[in-house]
Amino acid sequence: MKKLFLSNIIFLVLINLLIKPFYVFVIEVGVQNEVGPTEYGVFFSLFNFCYLFQFITDLGISNYNNITVARDPSFISRNIKKLLGVRIILAVLFFAFIGLFAFLIDYPETYYPMLWLIALNQILVSFILYFRTNISGLGFYKTDSMISVLDKLLLICLVGYLLWFNIANGFEFSIITFVHCQMVSLMVTLITVIVVLFSKSSITSFTLKPSFDFSVIKKSLPYALIVLVMSAYSRIDGVMLERMLEDGGQEAGIYAASYRFLDALNILGFLFAGLLLPMFAKLISTNKSIKSVLLLSFKLINAIAISIALYINYNGDQLMQFLYPLYANDYYSNILILLTWGFLGIATTHIFGTLLTANQSLRRMNIILILGLVINVLLNWYFIPTYKAQAAATTTLITEVVVALGLILIVKSEFKLQIKVKPILSLAAYGLALFAFYHTLSVVINLDWIISLILGIIVSFVVSLLLHIIDIRVLKEVLFTR
């Protein structure tokens, strides 16, 4: 299972490195530079607002379905009709909640056209994720990986064409144009994932007849609470910035410029989680040890997180100036540094939270997540009026660290795991080595950020091999055996 995990995560990372970073740092940055931080900040706030209610579109069905299909593949054919019917009803409820709470927090009428389009896109995303859980649950991890980048690949083509070719011909690109492009790419991806699922499973047909299966909902609700709370404490900051400040649109736009990096890093976290969830579920159901896969995934993702955080710590100002030449300053880079260090907590949460989800140890996990939400909202509420976007970034860092430590303690208790010193020391040594490396490059030699990035990738990989963070024997098996 450790070899299977490593081979698939290498494939996942490679394919996503080819597509998603280009989308985030070229297409999204191009859109924000074209429309300006204020207009993009409104989009960012509305997107986060809809994301807060995305749990309604799913109610934990996707996670429950992924785990159950991994244990019993016949679950798909027995339940797909009922679950699709449920999701239609949930989509209607989602729109109702969006409308109600948008009214309660007094969104201007001019926001509503874009709000409804973003909400519809979230519905499309929820259906895509549901169908993908069936594919990954059946063990077709690489197929699922290919589908996971399809919408971004389509967006690169659509938005890239409009930004680089049509604007030159006098086309006026707006944020609504970007939302329309998202909708087209998601519709094509949804059709594709349905066709693929039919070809990979025994399903011959399904209907969209609305029904409400309380037995499935009851089993999936604990997963829904996880999605709700995690969505809330990771996305509410953008909404609070836009609503609490007079210049909220601009501050939300500045925050979005840095949060984009965290979204990009979260691509990696979700890749790990999506791959690990069915693997952990299968290991647990067959009473096999999860320890080796847990340790390997924890070391890998945290090694990447440490390297990126240290790189940004020394090169964030140059990077932001390159991406946002008309707007970026020290305020931008300070926010970026805080958010990037927060990814260490997020990375750990992805690993340990996924294990607890696969083990259905949800009650204690939800308590920790709710604690994180309370900390996040209170700190944001108190500090945003004074420190604005920098307060939101600091709050994110604190929240993620608290949640990560809480989940580690729960896993230690649930699985009776002994925390050994060796893996922690190897990560500490790795961090110290890279700290010395990046400090030398940036402060002593004063190298350009691009050269530092290339050298950093190479040195990070070599140091991880030397400290056995990456197992060279397993890596050889993955790369050189068929």
Question: 106: alpha, beta or left, given left = phi > 0 and alpha = psi -120 to 50?
Answer: left
Between CA 391 and CA 388 the distance in angstroms is: 5
What are the pLDDT digits (tens) for 404-433?
999 999 998 888 887 778 888 999 999 999
Alpha carbons within 13 angstroms on the beta-carbon side of residue 264 total: 25
Cβ count near 462 (within 10 Å)? 11
- 0.85 surpassed by pTM: no
For residue 11, the model assigns a pLDDT of 62
- Candidates 279, 265, 272; CA nearest to 312 is 265
Which residue ranges of the chain lie beneath pLDDT 50?
478-482
For residue 89, the model assigns a pLDDT of 86
Tokens of 380: 């944001």
For residue 478, the model assigns a pLDDT of 45
Name the residue ranges covered by the structural domains of the chain. 2-419, 423-482
Tokens of 366: 């939800």
Between CA 272 and CA 351 the distance in angstroms is: 7
> Contact at 8 Å (CB) between 282 and 71?
yes
- Candidates 99, 103, 118; CA nearest to 45 is 118
Cβ count near 303 (within 10 Å)? 23
CA-angle at 53, arms to 243 and 43, nearest 5°: 45
Exposed, middle or buried, 192 (CB in 10 Å: 0-12/13-18/19+)?
middle
- Candidates 294, 269, 286; CA nearest to 5 is 294
For residue 479, the model assigns a pLDDT of 46
Cβ count near 112 (within 10 Å)? 15
Between CA 271 and CA 195 the distance in angstroms is: 22
- Candidates 307, 273, 304, 279; CA nearest to 292 is 279
- Candidates 293, 297, 416, 411; CA nearest to 361 is 411
For residue 377, the model assigns a pLDDT of 92
- Candidates 449, 28, 1, 445; CA nearest to 253 is 28
Between CA 105 and CA 203 the distance in angstroms is: 44
Q: Which residue has the tokens 């080595």?
A: 433
Can you tell me whether residue 316 is helix, strand or coil?
helix
346, 351, 354, 359 alpha-carbon torsion, rounded to 10°: -140
Between CA 465 and CA 163 the distance in angstroms is: 42
Between CA 49 and CA 115 the distance in angstroms is: 9
Indicate the DSSP class of residue 109.
Answer: G
Between CA 274 and CA 385 the distance in angstroms is: 37
Tokens of 372: 């994180």
- Candidates 466, 463, 469; CA nearest to 422 is 469
Tokens of 116: 């409804």
Burial 55-73 (b: 16+ CB within 10 A, else e): bbbbbbbbbbbbbbbbeee
Tokens of 227: 């999605």
**Phi and psi for 206 in degrees, rounded to 5?**
-155, 160
Q: Give the CA radius of gyration of the chain.
A: 22
> Contact at 8 Å (CB) between 207 and 82?
no
For residue 482, the model assigns a pLDDT of 43
Instruction: Say which residues have a Cβ less than 8 Å from residue 116's Cβ, sequence separation at least 6.
Output: 95, 98
Between CA 31 and CA 253 the distance in angstroms is: 12
CA-based end-to-end distance of the chain: 16
For residue 235, the model assigns a pLDDT of 81
Tokens of 43: 């989009």
